[in-house]
Structure 1
Amino acid sequence: MSASSTPVLRRLTSRKAAVAGVAAAATAALALSLAPGDAEASVETEALAAAPVAWELDSAEASVHKSITSQQSAFEARLKATQAKAKAEAEAAAKQKAAAAKVAAVKKAEAKAKAEAAAKKRAKAAAASRAAARKPVYANNLDGWIREAMSIMKKHDIPGSYDGIKRNILRESSGNPRAINNWDINAINGIPSKGLLQVIKPTFDAYHVPGTAWDQYDPVANIAAACNYAADRYGSMDNVNSAY
């Protein structure tokens, strides 16, 4: 190394040392300002660290942000629409299910009512069959007519013996259920006497006995009505020995 280069090197070395010294001093000053013992400096440092940093987006970043925001809004809108549709479908399904359950309940009730009606009809038919089986069978002649009429009269407390009834029948009609008187005053008045015991229509209607036919010519109905009239008028058909 030449003698002339030595002073230059020394100057550079001195400058570097000076710069290093300044840097060291600055570092020491900063360290001192951040020392835990200095409360005021610590508060200022914390406030500086907590302060928000202003951030501005450039045009490209703003465009990306806008696109993301738009996509998010569109997604939220689709989500709401999907949720609303799902809710509407669930409500419609619930209504349909309720309607179906109501229809099923109605059909079940109708089927039950129909079954009960059929059961009642069968029970009624069975009861009628049993009653018919127990009901006495009367001969379709004068003897049977008198006996059947007497069984009905007994239920209504209408007096009259077999002999008393038969005696009056033989006198009035000779046992002919289709007998009719077309010559007496009743016939002249338009209400001829008819049947086994020659009963006129007003008397038959007034003294008709429940359980018998509404027909003057019906032998059982005619006997029962005539005996009912005789019981009211004479105490019993047994007390009648002539036209009555």
Structure 2
Amino acid sequence: MPSFTLPRAARITRITRTHKIAVAVLAAAGATSGLAVTSAPDTAQAASEHAPAAVKPVDAKGQPAKADDAKTGRAVTASVADHVKVDSVAKQHSAKQAASRSAERPAVKDYPLSIMKDKGIPGSYEGLHRNIMRESAGDPNAVNGWDVNAVNGTPSKGLLQVIQPTFDTYHVEGTPNKLTDPIANITAAANYAADRYGSIDNVDSAY
């Protein structure tokens, strides 16, 4: 078979075409690579976009902290501590005031007894309570509108159901001059019972 050699111009043309194809392939590859690099997210940018929002410091009242507070945190901490301290001091003060008031005034159930003791009127809490519950069921404004005293125009009134003439006679000095006042009613009744029966403790029925 006879050898066939391309003319020089043809060889140049073939090489040129081949070169162009190679260049085109490389260019395409480079473009693809460039696209890949361009489309890849920037690491710093991604970290910035997905980073959690910064937590802004607040003071004890929930308000945004001042610049100095945000930098050091010391002022905010002090504010919370001061708030707790103030609450603690206020509670202690209230407790002391309540204890002081309680110590200054005797218990209600002991008050009539202390007056009776000072005036030399005999009687115990049990005797007073027993008769109060029988006479008025503990109602200081109780009024008997049906017995003989009521018929005579002087109804029995108050915790121990005392009529006005008896109250006026046995009223204990230093107590309110009012028939239905609990302390005045109790002490007057106990004073009357002491004169009539020796003591309110000795009364177990109408007296």
- The higher radius of gyration belongs to 1
Using structure 1 for the length normalisation, give the TM-score: 0.42
> If each structure's helix is expressed as a fraction of its own residues, which one has the higher value?
1
